[in-house]
C-alpha cells in the first residue's frame, strides 16, 4: 500500500469511527494495544510503510472496538470487573 494511501487512511479513520459508532466525540488514538473505554478507541500504530496485511489487521481491530462502543454496556462491565480478582482481570485482558 502506498505511503499516501496509508496517510489518507490514517487521517480518515477517526471520522469513520465516529460515523460507524454514531458517537460524535469518539476519539481514535494510535497507541495500542487495541481496546476501548467507550469514549476512546485505542489502536496499535499504523506504520506509514504498512503492507496490506498490517493495514487489514489494524483496521479490523478498530472495527472490533467500534462494535464494543456500539454494543457493550460499559457500566455493567465495570461492575462485573469489580467482583473479579486482580489475577482474573489479568487473565481476561491477556488471553
Task: Find, among 28, 29, 18, the residue nearest to 70 by Cα.
Answer: 18
Its pTM stands at 0.81
Angle, helix 3-21 to helix 52-71, in steps of 10 degrees: 10
pLDDT (average), residues 22-33? 93
Identify the bridge partners of residue 41 per DSSP, sorted by sequence position. 28, 36
Check whether 95 has a pLDDT greater than 50: no
What is the structure's pLDDT at 89? 60
pLDDT in tens, 48-63: 999 999 999 999 999 9
Sign of CA dihedral 76, 39, 33, 46: positive
Amino acid at each position: 500500500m502506498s505511503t499516501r494511501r496509508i496517510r489518507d487512511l490514517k487521517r480518515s479513520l477517526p471520522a469513520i469511527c465516529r460515523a460507524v459508532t454514531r458517537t460524535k466525540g469518539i476519539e481514535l488514538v494510535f497507541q495500542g494495544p487495541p481496546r476501548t473505554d467507550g469514549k476512546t478507541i485505542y489502536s496499535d500504530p499504523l506504520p506509514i510503510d504498512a503492507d496490506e496485511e498490517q493495514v487489514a489487521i489494524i483496521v479490523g481491530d478498530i472495527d472490533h472496538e467500534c462494535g464494543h462502543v456500539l454494543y457493550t454496556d460499559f457500566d455493567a462491565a465495570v461492575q462485573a470487573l469489580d467482583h473479579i480478582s486482580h489475577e482474573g482481570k489479568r487473565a481476561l485482558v491477556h488471553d
